[in-house]
């Protein structure tokens, strides 16, 4: 009898779990389609089943948060006032705190709730000029404090929660709480030394204080107890430093990535040297990259063209032509390569070859205005003004309202006519 009872109980909970899974999937699908009414009904149904109550509460909270953020959705699907939705959302979150106080998601939800409440609550407040004249850090609103506390509590539950730590850093930075923000940014870069995972780095170049924190955090990441992969971390650090135009430090980071892996990072080192104006060193490194780095064809083309560009700048036209032609063997229609070979050929006095290449560049280049202008300039430099009229007319056809192209064509026609006997 005990076995029968056990099997019956197991069957009951398994069937409930399967049914709950189906209801949850339907509720989630409705949520992502912004059908808040159907999603709310599904999560309410799910709430009655013990094994799924935590998932149901999270779903209800998310529905109410979306309704608070979007009055149109709230009125269309729920037909509830802002105050009623806020009240219900608060009740759900209070229940989550009571039932799951050690859940990271619970306290993240608390922070989200007060973040969403703040704009609507501000509409009903009266602010004096004195309130508005002081900095945000000296005039924090109650929602700011509660949102900060929610995020801090989530980090007490899980100190390694990178998303919540970055959210706290961004919130603190926006409120002028610089020390708190910097502390979080330092920690989050140690936890997750991956440039693409941090919204606060999306703009590329950041101020020096934040940049220094990023560097310190990434260097900490390779040390115990984090012990992140040094090759990956130092490579990402080199990319970051190059974006900050700190090229000497970037070179060192790429060398450290190379030392940690044994693999070549010569093309990256070459780039940092070229940006510092150390062309001879960059040329040597690009040549090493061609021999040592495991380059895919597109990367090899890029390295060859970069090498060719530097050789041309150094006046070593024959070597430059050799490098560029090698790149064009791999990518015959590469616009950058065709234009660069045109410039190199012109420098070598091979005007016929240069003309053919400038014409090709004007036909296939991604920026037709620039490549046509290059062709006009080439014909001017070689004294063939009548031929310069052809690309000049095309430029005007592409930009008929541009006065500069009109003037250029008029000037060329005047010069051509002035040469006629």
pLDDT at 205: 87
Is 90 exceeded by the pLDDT of residue 418?
no
Domain boundary among 132, 157, 182: 157
Q: Pick the closest to residue 146 from 188, 180, 117 (CA basis).
A: 117
pLDDT digits (tens, 9 = 90+) for 29-70: 999 999 999 999 999 998 877 667 889 999 999 999 999 999
Quote the mean pLDDT of the chain: 91
Q: Is the pLDDT of residue 170 over 50?
A: yes
230 within domain boundaries? no
**33 lies in some domain:** yes
Task: Identify the band that residue 23 occupies on the pLDDT scale cut at 50, 70 and 90.
Answer: confident
Q: Does residue 318 sit within a domain?
A: no
| Number of domains the chain contains | 2
Kindly list the distances between the CA atom of residue 144 and the CA atoms of 112, 140, 170, 333, in Å, as whole numbers in the listed order. Answer: 11, 6, 12, 56
Whether the CB-CB separation of 63 and 29 falls below 8 Å is answered with no
pLDDT in tens, 79-129: 999 999 999 999 999 999 999 999 999 999 999 999 999 998 988 887 777
Distance (Å, whole) CA 309 – CA 341: 9
Give pLDDT tens digits for 322-339. 999 999 999 999 999 999
Assigned token pair, 319: 């070597």
Tell me whether residue 83 is in a domain.
yes
Q: Would you state the pLDDT for residue 127?
A: 73
Q: Which CATH number characterizes residue 113's domain?
A: 1.25.40
State how far the Cα of 174 lies from the Cα of 389, in Å rounded to an integer: 56
Q: Does 183 fall in a domain? A: no
For residue 410, count other CB atoms closer than 10 A to its CB: 12
State yes or no: pLDDT of 233 exceeds 70: yes
d(CA 190, CA 215): 10
* Rounded percentage of the chain residues whose pLDDT exceeds 90: 79
pLDDT confidence of residue 200: 87
**Residue 102 falls within a domain, yes or no?**
yes
Residue 66 to residue 164: CA distance in whole angstroms: 19
CA distance 303 to 309: 10
Residue 229, in any domain of the structure: no
Q: Is the pTM of this model over 0.85?
A: no
In a domain, 237, yes or no: no
The whole-number pLDDT of residue 10 equals 43
Per mean pLDDT, which of 8-17, 269-278, 360-369 is the most reliable? 269-278
149: containing domain = 12-122+141-157
């Amino acid at each position: 009898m005990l076995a029968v009872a056990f099997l019956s109980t197991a069957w009951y909970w398994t069937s409930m779990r399967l049914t709950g899974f189906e209801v949850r999937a339907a509720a989630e699908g409705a949520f992502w389609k912004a059908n808040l009414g159907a999603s709310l009904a599904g999560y309410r149904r799910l709430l009655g089943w013990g094994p799924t109550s935590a998932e149901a509460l999270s779903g209800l909270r998310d529905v109410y948060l979306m309704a608070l953020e979007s009055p149109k959705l709230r009125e269309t699907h729920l037909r509830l006032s802002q105050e009623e939705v806020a009240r219900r959302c608060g009740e759900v979150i209070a229940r989550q705190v009571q039932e799951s106080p050690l859940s990271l998601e619970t306290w993240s939800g608390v922070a989200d709730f007060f973040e969403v409440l703040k704009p609507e609550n501000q509409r009903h407040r009266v602010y004096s000029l004195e309130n508005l004249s002081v900095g945000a850090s000296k005039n924090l609103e109650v929602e700011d404090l509660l949102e900060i506390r929610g995020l801090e509590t989530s980090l007490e539950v899980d100190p390694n929660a990178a998303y919540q730590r970055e959210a706290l850093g961004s919130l603190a930075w926006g409120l002028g709480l610089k020390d708190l923000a910097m502390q979080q940014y330092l920690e989050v870069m140690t936890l997750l030394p991956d440039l693409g995972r941090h919204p606060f780095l999306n703009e590329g170049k950041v101020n020096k204080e934040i940049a220094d924190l990023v560097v310190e955090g990434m260097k900490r990441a390779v040390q115990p107890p984090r012990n992140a992969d040094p090759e990956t971390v130092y490579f990402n650090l080199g990319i970051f430093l190059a974006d900050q135009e700190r090229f000497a430090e970037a070179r060192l980071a790429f060398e450290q990535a190379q030392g940690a892996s044994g693999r070549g990072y010569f093309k990256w080192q070459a780039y940092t040297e070229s940006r510092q104006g150390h062309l001879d060193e960059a040329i040597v490194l690009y040549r090493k990259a061609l021999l040592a780095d495991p380059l895919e064809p597109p990367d090899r083309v890029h390295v060859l063209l970069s090498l060719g560009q530097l050789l041309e700048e150094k006046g070593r036209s024959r070597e430059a032509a050799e490098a560029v032609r090698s790149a064009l063997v791999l990518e015959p229609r590469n616009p950058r390569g065709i234009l660069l070979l045109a410039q190199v050929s012109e420098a070598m006095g091979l005007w016929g070859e240069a003309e053919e290449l400038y014409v090709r560049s004007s036909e296939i280049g991604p920026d037709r205005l620039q490549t046509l202008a290059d062709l006009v300039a080439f014909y001017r430099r070689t004294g063939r003004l009548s031929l310069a009229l052809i690309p000049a007319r095309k430029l005007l056809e592409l930009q008929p309202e541009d006065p500069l192209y009109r003037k250029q064509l008029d000037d060329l026609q005047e010069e051509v006519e002035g040469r006629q006997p």
